[in-house]
Structure 1
């Protein structure tokens, strides 16, 4: 039986596949072996497949970058999967260059795709002109006046948690996993303040609602940074067709957000139009932006008559903000408030000094202005966000060849001095937020200590840090800086104000048993009980003035 000759169509298909594979392979070789980053110093690479990724994923307390910068200097490279180089830089000018040019240094494609799968087309998952358009519409909802109107929600929900803990400590003291309860608190807050949706998470007798369950499933199984899956699916898109448990979870959560989000958006639109009709308004203006949840403010701004049709967001874009609000406004603030209570437990004198300031306020329900007028509370919050930023590092990728300027020159592996770093298209850059916040050169020898007093006279060197708030990178900087930083800061102040006035906090376990696990947020876990996940057990005792 003779061999058949392949048809021209099959031959063309095979040739196309071969050329595509050759092109991708050349791109891989170019990034790995022809990178201008090759001369930079850096740690040895333990694996040709995983590079340094397993080493980073296994680190506790995120101290590995600190060690690297101490040993190799402010500019170094490590290797990610399949030996692809990544630039790490502690140079403030280099970080400013990367953050201020987000289109030249976007989030890596695999990360962008993962976030789009999680969040849809929200502010965190779009880039370029689409991001600018969404941000223009969203900006009015996050102004000082709007946060002022939401402050009572922060306080009222914090009081609910205070009463819940007061009931638990009726016999004198109680052991509480504050990480879990603060997560429920911030979920309730963002539900009501974000889109007028009551999760009722703090109600011990309540049952989880559908949106809450979808959100928790969505973020329960976030892949480790050492997971090869996202990279392989990017390189070989056919792998996305393989059905996985994680994929089924994403599909369920996405459908739930879409269905409930659509209903929420339609309800808000109807309510806004009804209000405009009852007030006999000719149109909806930006002046009508006061006193509503963020979703209502967003929809009002999007419907405003002075917004050109081309600048309006689609229904899909508006619905995409709901999981974005949940992610950005829930876990990050619960993580920050958890580390604040950790720090106050570790430094009882700071805890008492803060309590004395808070008790000087006569009201249980402070306004935004009253919270902002407390200097030591402000220092405690700022120091918490310095020492325990929710996100330890950012990854960006060069969209084209570029030259990154530096404040200080460095010496490469060959002894050559450089005042800038050449970077090639496809090279990744790590913005080391936590390492920058712990740099002894910037903060002094006590950089690892929780010391709110440092903010009475901050070191001059930190003025070079290109952050949007407080000379910190907690809320990033540049055009993609966190739009909700005011929301987060006032919410954190309201939580601490309410809880620290009412309770004394101390560790329920040895402090050495508490470690940081970053996946992707830095949350506390116990060495002795890793199977129980994230937790921070504290002993709570009702405060009684002498």
Structure 2
């Protein structure tokens, strides 16, 4: 008669053998990655790989140096010696961005981390759900809607101008203004009104509870070592570890107020459009689009998916101000053009009709892309074509790369925007005059806007790029007409924050608070 052990022992052996095979395959892939033949920098840290070098680089230029040495596709070492393909090849980028729904997706670890902060919205979803969300959202981000929001951009820019005037009038004329703080408040106010018809009151007061909740989520580095481990290892996320109480409380506030905003927007969306004369915000337009009866019920977004998210316009404008302090001739030329406009309240068409402002914004977003890189992971095997052949460590030339499922890929946005093979030998120089006569090679860059990778491209391109560009133009129009900008510390004291890249003074610079951009503002005389 068969005993229990006669059944359990074979099952145990098969289970252990299967687990051992999976472990062996993973160890093999870790030790012998498929793209190990590619050239690239040596591993500089057993735990963090080359990411430690990148984090310690004050100039944010390592990817440019590596591409110049190893080519437009090279290998670097990631966390725990994982293999990362760094891509700066126009054809390869176009292939990847064209297949971000079916082959190359945002890494699961990044999606988990974003969902922890923002919920399961359009930044996190993949596949058919993401395509459905984009179809519903697209009408709310078109040029007609952005034109209707331009008054909000301009009004809030004027509020920031007056906020800074008041600040410098109440202090010594040479006392620096921390421009990032004011820009962050202003763009938060814009997101409140333009995004979902909500008054954050960030500029006019200390802000309400939702403003403070946003600051808790976005106002600093909330990660600790345990968070980093949970991002990398999915099994740790299943442990009963309480969430960061500050983030949990902020999310509760955002969810509570967000649901009420969606409810209010639904009431406005139910009105005939000719009777709804007040709502210009994206949320109401988005809800109205989502309620369209031509959209099948199963393709509509959930209420929590339609809430607006924070933008990076304040960071881009911080970069613009930094550039103006370093190029006084550009500052003077830009101000001269802006002062030819007779009104303080320009329309979107008037802003877009200013050629030097347009060229200046394009050059800032080329040289100073706030997002330096993005990651993707291959969810199936693929063959990636290359525009520029690369030579591997064995001297063999490759015109395509065989990508294995699970391969991590890093798109180097900033380095691509400054590639000398694309933009010429003066690619590292700030020259607004280059626009209108861009080199032919730039036309191959698969970006959604202006031959740049700043807003990415393909199905996952930044949906709010029009919003961001026009808001930035409105800010610069108002501020450059009102102030002359001078850096309050020596140029050598400025370092570059990674992630959402921004120019920042070292903490010890002139005893100023660290991680800020201090600028001396001088009001422009009316007779100038």
| Per-residue Cα deviation, 1:411-460 (whole angstroms, up to 9, x for no partner) | 11001111111111111111000111111222222222211111131122
Aligned to 2:23: 25
- Per-residue deviation, 1:315: 2.1
Distance 2:303 2:136 in 1: 13
| Per-residue Cα deviation, 1:3-24 (whole angstroms, up to 9, x for no partner) | xx99999999987985685465
Q: Work out whether 1:522 is the aligned partner of 2:522.
A: no
Change (3 A) 1:533 1:120: farther
Q: Work out whether 1:481 is the aligned partner of 2:478.
A: no
Say which SS state the counterpart of residue 532 (structure 1) adopts. Answer: coil
TM-score, normalised to structure 1, is: 0.89
Q: Work out whether 1:336 is the aligned partner of 2:333.
A: no
- Per-residue deviation, 1:126: 0.8
Say which SS state the counterpart of residue 489 (structure 2) adopts. Answer: coil
Greater mean deviation of Cα atoms: 384-393 or 524-533: 524-533
Aligned to 1:99: 97
Say which SS state the counterpart of residue 36 (structure 2) adopts. Answer: helix
Say which SS state the counterpart of residue 39 (structure 1) adopts. Answer: coil
Greater mean deviation of Cα atoms: 361-370 or 214-223: 214-223
Aligned to 1:251: 248
Change (3 A) 1:425 1:377: same
Change (3 A) 1:277 1:341: closer
- Per-residue deviation, 1:127: 0.8
Say which SS state the counterpart of residue 316 (structure 1) adopts. Answer: helix
Say which SS state the counterpart of residue 378 (structure 1) adopts. Answer: helix
Greater mean deviation of Cα atoms: 372-381 or 61-70: 61-70
Change (3 A) 1:134 1:498: same
Unaligned runs of 5+ in 1: 280-287
| Per-residue Cα deviation, 1:61-112 (whole angstroms, up to 9, x for no partner) | 2111112112222221011112111111221000111111002110111001
Change (3 A) 1:223 1:102: farther
Say which SS state the counterpart of residue 169 (structure 1) adopts. Answer: helix
Matches within 5 A, 1:348-387: 348-387=328-367
Q: 1:317 aligns with which of 299, 305, 308?
A: 305
| Per-residue Cα deviation, 1:464-492 (whole angstroms, up to 9, x for no partner) | 11100000000000011011100000000
Q: 1:438 aligns with which of 418, 438, 442?
A: 418
- Per-residue deviation, 1:291: 5.3
Say which SS state the counterpart of residue 267 (structure 1) adopts. Answer: helix
Matches within 5 A, 1:50-199: 50-103=48-101, 104-170=103-169, 172=173, 174-199=175-200
Q: Is the 8 A contact 2:161 2:482 kept in 1?
A: yes
- Per-residue deviation, 1:496: 0.1
Q: Work out whether 1:305 is the aligned partner of 2:318.
A: no
The count of residues paired between Structure 1 and Structure 2 equals 520
Q: Is the 8 A contact 2:176 2:518 kept in 1?
A: yes
Q: 1:541 aligns with which of 515, 522, 526?
A: 522
Distance 2:222 2:199 in 1: 29
Change (3 A) 1:437 1:238: closer
| Per-residue Cα deviation, 1:252-286 (whole angstroms, up to 9, x for no partner) | 2222221111111112212333x34996xxxxxxx
Change (3 A) 1:223 1:214: closer
Change (3 A) 1:199 1:46: same
Say which SS state the counterpart of residue 445 (structure 1) adopts. Answer: coil
| Per-residue Cα deviation, 1:127-186 (whole angstroms, up to 9, x for no partner) | 111011111111111111100000000000000011112223337554101011111110
Q: Work out whether 1:451 is the aligned partner of 2:438.
A: no
Distance 2:13 2:262 in 1: 49
Aligned to 2:201: 200
Aligned to 1:285: none
Distance 1:308 1:42 in 2: 49
Say which SS state the counterpart of residue 400 (structure 2) adopts. Answer: strand
- Per-residue deviation, 1:523: 1.5
Distance 1:438 1:449 in 2: 9
- Per-residue deviation, 1:461: 1.5
- Per-residue deviation, 1:213: 1.6
Q: Work out whether 1:397 is the aligned partner of 2:342.
A: no
Aligned to 2:492: 512
Q: Which of the pair has the greater relative contact order for Cα pairs under 8 Å at 6+ separation?
A: 1
Q: Is the 8 A contact 1:169 1:542 kept in 2?
A: no
Change (3 A) 1:22 1:198: farther
Greater mean deviation of Cα atoms: 135-144 or 161-170: 161-170
Distance 2:106 2:277 in 1: 32
| Per-residue Cα deviation, 1:200-257 (whole angstroms, up to 9, x for no partner) | 1111xx2332112222111244367x9684455553524542536x633332222222
Say which SS state the counterpart of residue 36 (structure 1) adopts. Answer: coil
- Per-residue deviation, 1:372: 0.4
Distance 2:17 2:53 in 1: 35
Distance 1:25 1:165 in 2: 59
Q: Is the 8 A contact 1:91 1:406 kept in 2?
A: yes
Say which SS state the counterpart of residue 126 (structure 1) adopts. Answer: coil
Q: Is the 8 A contact 2:268 2:284 kept in 1?
A: no
Q: Is the 8 A contact 1:149 1:291 kept in 2?
A: no
Q: Is the 8 A contact 2:482 2:524 kept in 1?
A: yes
